[in-house]
Each structure stands twice: as C-alpha cells, then as structure tokens.
C-alpha cells in the first residue's frame, strides 16, 4: 500500500527521481535512467520501436564493503563513523529548507506518520499477555511473544502522545533552527557503502517526499537504531554523539530515543507486512516474524529505558503480585529477571519448590542471609549492566536500607535505575497466600501465618524520588497491570528526556 508505479510514465518519473535524489550522496553510483524497448519480439536496453519499461543504471558495488556486512565481520570502528559523519554533516549543512519541507516538522504533520504507523500495525497486535513462570527453574525468564502485544502497542501509542504533549516546545524549536531538511529518509547500515577510498550512501526515499522531509535527528536515529539492533549500542551512542557535535545540535540528544523508537516501530511493521507476503517462502516469513518481534521490543525498550541499560527493581509486600508482574515485564521487554527467592534458596542449598521447615526458615530469612542474598542480586544486576543489558530484580526490598543500597550502587556509577512497587488489597493478598498452599511450583516460603509479621517489617518506600518510583495496583487483569506499569515507566522516560546529556 505504499507505492503507485502503475503507469509507464510514473515509473519513468520515479526512476528519474531516484537518480537525481541519490546523486546527492552517491554521485558515482547512479549513472542515469535507461529505457527498455521491445525489438523484434525481444527486449533490449535503449530506444526502440516501443519503450516498455525504464531502469536505473547503477555501478556495481562490492558487497563486502556494505556497512552491515562490515559490522558482522567486526570491521566497523569509530573512525569509519567519523568519515560517515563528515559526509552527512556537509549534506545537511548545505541545504536551505523550503516552507513546505519545514511544515513537516509541525506536530500535526508528525502525527500523520505516527498515526499511520499505528493504524497499519494494529492488525499485528496479539492476544493479552498471560502469566509466565520461569521455564528453566533458574529464577531467570526471557520468554516472550512472537508479535506485537497489546500492552506494548498501547504503551508505544501512549509514549508518542506524551512526547508530543510534553516536548512540544522542543519540537517547535527544531523548525525555527532549520533542522527539518530534505534528508535521506532510509539511512540504515545496508545503504552505506564504505571502502578505504570511497563512501556512498544510496537508496534514499524517492517515492514519498513526506518520508524524506524529516528532522535531521530522525534521519540519524535510523542508523543509530540499526546499530542498537545489531548489538552495537556503543557505536550507536558514538555515532549519534558525533553527529550532534558536527552539526552543533544541542537538541538532537533530547530527541534521539523518540525517533529511534519511531524507526524501530516502522521496521517492526515492515517485517510484519513481509510475513503476509503469499509468495514468500515459509522460512523467510519465519525470519521476518522474529525480526518484527525484536524490532517491536526494541521500540518498547526505548519508551521505558531509553538507550542505556536500566536496573528495574519490582518490589512489594508479601503476595503483592510483584513476581508475576516482574515475570510479565521481563516477557514484554525480553529482559532477564533475577528473583531474590531463587537466589536465597540457592545460596542456602535448600530445595527450590519445598517449603522450608520453621527452623530452616529462621536461618533462611536471617539478617545475614538477607544481606548475602541482596549482595548477590545486585552483583548479578551489575554484571548484566556491564554487558550493556537491562535487568529486572524481583525482590521485596522491604527495608529502606536495601533500597538505599540499590540507589547507591547504581546511582554512583551513573547507571539508570527505577523501582516499581506492586500493591494489592488485603483481600487479594490473603487469596493469593491461600492459593500458595496447593501450588507445586512456588519458591517463596511466605504463607498466611507469616502475613502479619512480614507486613509489620515492611517499610513503605516513601524516601524514593519520584523520578525513580512507580506504583502499580496488581488487582486488575494482568495485561492491564502490565500496561499500567509500562506506561508509568514511559511517562518517567519522557520527563527525563528533557535532561538527556
């Protein structure tokens, strides 16, 4: 539904547009437009008795020098991105945008593209999220969904609306600063060809001006997102930072996550559409479905955590629903989930799914064992963060001192952290505790007789700064609870985007 090449004249027009637009960044690659003619029942290039088609004549490029291929071989260095940044800087700075181009920086026109994406992607939204348990009994879950879930879809819509509402002045300033340009529009790794002597950026969008008339931050965000998707967030941050410096653009970092989210969502939609192609082989459709899932997850990650790894602690009283919520968030985001109940029993050498005796519980829940458990939990999170991976911690964090340890350990190192407190009514808690009596896969030892004591020991997290704290009621359906948690985190992320480095 994107293209109209229905007539010969239209195809000739778009071939000519493709050549003229792409010569801006790949002048030696695009050689011209040639007719294809019918001659004596055969087809040949050049003018003839009847022109039946037009083609773009291009120079053949060595496949090994495409940036995506080089990245797979580990042959992309910051110096390569420096070369790319200089070429793009000159491309952007040499432009003088018209009023028509600049009009596409207005929020009402930005919404045309984002609303269109949501309409086109909604058929791919899956059934509500279901409660998940650790599949391998290791206290870690990264199970997920094969397509776009309802909580993710609604959170992405919410994040987009919130960004337009809260960052309207920033978006208006982009028009005033002449940052809305006739850009490339499809700037990802496969469209950059880099040799020791040459650099070509080809295959820009020629069929729809709206997709090229974008904020320069939007253009740059596509390639930065692609680097994230390929597992190189370090290069993504370097490239985005270098472009902001080259263009002397202080606003670009404030917009990067928003536009990376947009680009990841578009790619997820495109891959989802490919799954429907009736002529595509089954394996191609399977690969496209997996890529779509990864792109949608990446888009969701930008909404709740931005471009840096986040330590997300899901805490709460006994039977508050924190473990169910933590596992569901892990499934939505594809993040590892580490459970204090699991860590505690493994450290003590106790069976995971057997309730410990009264004497054993005294040792298991002693101050010393609790300290040891949280030390291990925070260390595991730190290891994930060092690898550039976000993580979810499923633990009560019942005492202020434990939460302060979390904030101190990660805040001191400049690592993003946030706490989600799961809350439930007394009636819901008692029902859940009763249900534990007959569950065979319950790791926690807490039961009805422990409720009063553990409630007295719980210190509400009143000390947590609002920018690091989210409260979620867990007595609704799980998909509604997950949506609320994700949207609350997205709201914090939009607010924090005004303080991006």
Is it the case that residue 2 has pLDDT exceeding 70?
no
User: What are residue 144's DSSP bridge partners?
Assistant: none
Report the range of poorest mean pLDDT among 141-145, 285-289, 332-336.
141-145
Q: Is the pLDDT of residue 139 over 50?
A: no
Q: Which residues neighbour 468 within 8 Å (Cβ) at sequence distance 6 or greater?
A: 407, 417, 418, 419
Task: List strand residue ranges (DSSP E) for 410-494, in order.
Answer: 416-423, 469-473
DSSP helix/strand/coil, 321: coil
Task: Please check the confidence at residue 131 and state whether its pLDDT lies above 90.
Answer: no
Residue 356 has a pLDDT of 64
The domain made up of 308-494 has a fold known as Rossmann fold (3.40.50)
3-state secondary structure 26-75: CCCCEEEEEEEEEECCEEEECCCCEEEEEEEEECCCCHHHEHHHHHHCCC
CB 56 within 8 A of CB 10: no
More confident residue, 439 or 316: 316
In this predicted structure, what is the pLDDT of residue 42?
84
Position 449 scores a pLDDT of 64
The 10s digit of each residue's pLDDT in 246-289 is: 999 999 999 999 999 999 999 999 999 888 888 889 899 899 99
When pLDDT is cut at 50, 70 and 90, the band that residue 69 belongs to is: very high
In the chain, the percentage of residues whose pLDDT exceeds 70 is 90
User: With 50 as the cut, is the pLDDT of residue 54 above it?
Assistant: yes
The residues spanned by each domain of the chain are 8-58, 63-135+145-304, 308-494
d(C-alpha 11, C-alpha 310), whole Å: 48
What pLDDT, on a 0 to 100 scale, did the predictor assign at position 275?
Answer: 85
Cα angle for residues 471, 258, 488 (degrees, 5° grid): 10
Categorise residue 38: left if φ over 0, alpha if ψ from -120 to 50, beta otherwise.
beta
Angle subtended by helix axes 252-275 and 282-305, to nearest 10:
160
Count other Cβ atoms within 10 Å, centred on residue 407: 17
Q: Span 19-23, mean pLDDT?
A: 98
Average pLDDT over every residue of 323-327:
97
Q: What is the pLDDT of residue 46?
A: 86
Whole-Å CA distances, 443 to 106, 252, 369: 53, 47, 16
From residue 315, alpha-carbon distances to 17, 79, 334 in Å are 56, 44, 19
pLDDT tops 70 at residue 346: yes
**Average pLDDT rounded to a whole number, residues 187-198:** 97
Mean of pLDDT over the chain: 90
Work out the percent of the chain whose per-residue pLDDT is above 90: 76
pLDDT at 178 over 70: yes
Q: What's the per-residue H, E or C state across 432-446?
A: HHHHHCCCCCCCCCC
What per-residue confidence (pLDDT) applies to 365?
74
Least confident of 13-22, 139-148, 292-301: 139-148
pTM (two decimals): 0.91
Burial class, 187, CB count within 10 angstroms (exposed 0-12 / middle 13-18 / buried 19+): buried
Q: Tens of pLDDT along 441-470?
A: 666 665 566 667 778 889 999 999 999 999
Say which residue, 23 or 430, is predicted with more confidence: 23
Question: 453: exposed, middle or buried (C-beta count within 10 Å: 0-12, 13-18, 19+)?
Answer: exposed
Q: Which fold has domain 63-135+145-304?
A: Aminoglycoside 3'-phosphotransferase; Chain: A, domain 2 (3.90.1200)
How far is 302 from 307, CA to CA, in rounded Å? Answer: 6
* 477 vs 353, higher pLDDT: 477
pLDDT at 24 over 70: yes
Q: How many whole angstroms separate alpha carbon 500 and alpha carbon 257?
A: 10
**Confidence bin at 166 (pLDDT 50/70/90):** very high
| Residue 182 in this model has a pLDDT that exceeds 70 | yes
Helix ranges restricted to H, 249-366: 252-275, 282-305, 322-333, 340-348, 358-364
**What value does the mean pLDDT take over residues 99-108?**
98
At 145, the pLDDT band (50, 70, 90 cuts) reads very low
């Amino acid at each position: 539904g994107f293209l109209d090449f229905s007539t010969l004249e239209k195809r000739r027009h778009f071939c000519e547009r493709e050549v003229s637009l792409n010569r801006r960044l790949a002048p030696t690659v695009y050689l011209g437009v040639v007719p294809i003619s019918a001659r004596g029942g055969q087809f040949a290039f050049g003018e003839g008795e009847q022109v039946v088609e037009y083609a773009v004549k291009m120079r053949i490029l060595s496949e090994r020098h495409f940036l995506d291929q080089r990245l797979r071989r580990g042959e992309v260095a910051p110096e390569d991105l420096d070369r790319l940044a200089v070429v793009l800087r000159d491309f952007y700075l040499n432009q003088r945008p018209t009023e028509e181009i600049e009009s596409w920086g207005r929020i009402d026109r930005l919404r045309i593209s984002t609303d269109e994406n949501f309409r086109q992607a909604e058929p791919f939204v899956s059934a509500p999220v279901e409660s998940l348990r650790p599949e391998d009994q290791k206290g870690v879950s990264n199970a997920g969904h094969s397509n776009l879930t309802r909580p993710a879809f609604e959170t992405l819509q919410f994040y987009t609306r919130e960004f337009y509402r809260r960052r309207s002045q920033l978006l208006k300033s982009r028009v005033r600063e002449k940052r809305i340009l006739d850009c490339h529009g499809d700037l990802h790794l496969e469209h950059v060809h880099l040799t020791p002597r040459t650099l070509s950026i080809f295959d820009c969008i020629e069929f729809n001006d709206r997709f090229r008339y974008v904020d320069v931050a939007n253009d740059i965000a596509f390639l930065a997102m692609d680097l994230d998707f390929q597992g190189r967030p370090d290069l993504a941050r370097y490239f985005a930072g270098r472009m902001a410096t080259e263009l002397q653009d202080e606003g670009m970092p404030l917009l990067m996550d928003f536009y990376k989210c947009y680009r990841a969502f578009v790619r997820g939609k495109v891959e989802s559409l490919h799954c429907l192609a009736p002529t595509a082989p089954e394996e191609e459709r399977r690969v496209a479905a997996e890529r779509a899932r990864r792109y949608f997850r990446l888009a969701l990650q930008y909404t709740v955590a931005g471009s840096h790894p986040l330590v997300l602690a899901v805490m709460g009283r006994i039977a508050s629903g924190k473990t169910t919520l933590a596992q569901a968030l892990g499934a939505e985001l594809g993040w590892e989930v580490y459970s204090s109940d699991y860590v505690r029993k493994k450290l003590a050498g106790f069976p995971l799914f057997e309730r410990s005796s009264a004497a054993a519980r005294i040792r298991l829940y002693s101050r010393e064992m609790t300290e040891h458990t949280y030390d291990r939990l925070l260390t595991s999170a730190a290891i994930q963060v060092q690898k550039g991976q976000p993580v979810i911690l499923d633990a009560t964090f019942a005492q202020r001192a434990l939460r302060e340890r979390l904030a101190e350990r990660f805040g001191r190192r400049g690592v993003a952290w946030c706490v989600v407190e799961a809350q439930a009514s007394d009636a819901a808690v008692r029902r859940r505790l009763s249900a534990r009596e007959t569950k065979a896969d319950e790791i926690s030892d807490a039961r009805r007789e422990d409720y009063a004591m553990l409630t007295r020991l719980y210190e509400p997290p009143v000390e947590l700064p609002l920018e690091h704290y989210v409260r979620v009621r867990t007595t609704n359906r799980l998909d509604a609870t997950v949506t609320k948690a994700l949207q609350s985190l997205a709201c914090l992320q939009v607010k924090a985007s005004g303080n991006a480095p």
